[in-house]
Each structure stands twice: as C-alpha cells, then as structure tokens.
Structure 1
C-alpha cells in the first residue's frame, strides 16, 4: 500500500498544482515510508531517504525532477552513511558464544580469563557482581567480539 501512496503522491505533484509540496511531505512522510520503516526498523532516517529516492524516480519517470518541487533532497553520501550504520547494527546483533570470544584472545588473556572466580556466561545484572569483577587484582577484561 505505501508504494501505491508514493505513486499517487508523485502523480499529484506532477499533474496537479500542489500549493505546498513540502507541507504535504511533512504531513504524510511516515505513511509514505511504512514499508521501508518495516525493512529498516532501527533506522528511520534511511527509511525516509529510500522513500524520497523512490518518489524522485517516480517523478522522473513522469518527465519532471524532484528539484522542481520543494521536497527534501537526498545525497548519495547520506544514503551510504545510513546503509553502513545499518550493516554495523546488524553485525553487532550477531550472537557470539563465550568459546568464540576466548578463541580470539591470546594465551595470557585466556589463562587470566579462566582464573577469574566470578566468570559466568550470564550477563552481569547487579552492581555488586560488576564490582567484584573489577576488584579481582585490578584486571579489567572486556569481552568484545571482533570481526575476523
């Protein structure tokens, strides 16, 4: 349905004299980009960029240009930044097992990791657990998965 709305929006802009296209965009941009918002749920800005790009293509297919109307412009750089951010978010959400993390450490860190009495596989939920980990002979061991 949002794609049909975008086509209708572009048709209105090209074939009707819309008094304030920017106001129309501002009012209905969330409805016009619903499908992209589902695809890029964590990145509303990218959803709006994709929507504007789609509308620009529709307008151009009807013989006009997006610049003829007072719509927000989208640069290629902005789209790339949003895409990169989405890729990073997706990779950060990949579950990593403790065994995989340990496999990326050097032998000294592995030995220290295994010697810590408070290591468990559950996330640290309480402040007291975190304090106990920090007090263990001053070592701080951050378990951060790194891409290989």
Structure 2
C-alpha cells in the first residue's frame, strides 16, 4: 500500500469515526446537553487522539461539544476531489455534498508511523482563499 493509499485510508477512518460520533450524540445532546456533553467530549477525544495531531481541546468541536445534523463528516457522501503529495505531507481536497457544499483541504503528516491530520482548511468563496478550519 502506498503512502497516499494509507493516508486516504486513515482520513476515511477519521471521517467514519466522526460520522458515527455525531449520529450517536446529536439526539442525546438535543435531549439533555448537561447530561451528555462530558461523555461526548471524552469520546471525541479518543477520536482526535487517534487521528488528529496536536489538536487544542479548547477549540472547535472539543470546546462544545459541537454536534450537528447532518453530520459534518461522511465518507459515503463527501467527494475526494484530489490528493497531492507535498514532500512528506499528503493533502486531501474534499467537496461536501451536504449543507453548503463547502470545500475543504486536509493536510496529513506521518507521526509515529500513523498518518494524522495536521491542519484543516475551508475555502472561503467570497475571499477566494483558504482559511483555518477547526475540526
């Protein structure tokens, strides 16, 4: 298996884990945020520890936890537009098929033998440039 194949496999593993997390926690958080928020954060931390390099727990989804519907990550619906190799990094471009049809760019690097997401960006159409996206 090539580095690109392995990085894609890991990225799809992240997407699937996040998809399951959101599907599981969305109705629970809607029902009783106080009751389920801490467990949702703990379960999210497990996913981030596995797939995201040096994340900040006070940012993005971890701060909330931020859970939505439809899920933000879905390997069945999201379209991988292209994959680039840049030195020791793999860059995956994703077109969303849900919500606003946003485009994302995820940079993965190899850490302790595992491809991990180092940076995620969203393309801002109005500014015509990439901006930081908090997972």
Measured against the shorter chain, the TM-score band is under 0.3
TM-score by length of 1: 0.25
TM-score by length of 2: 0.27
Higher strand share: 2
**Which structure has the larger Rg?**
1
Higher relative contact order (CA 8 A, sep 6+): 2
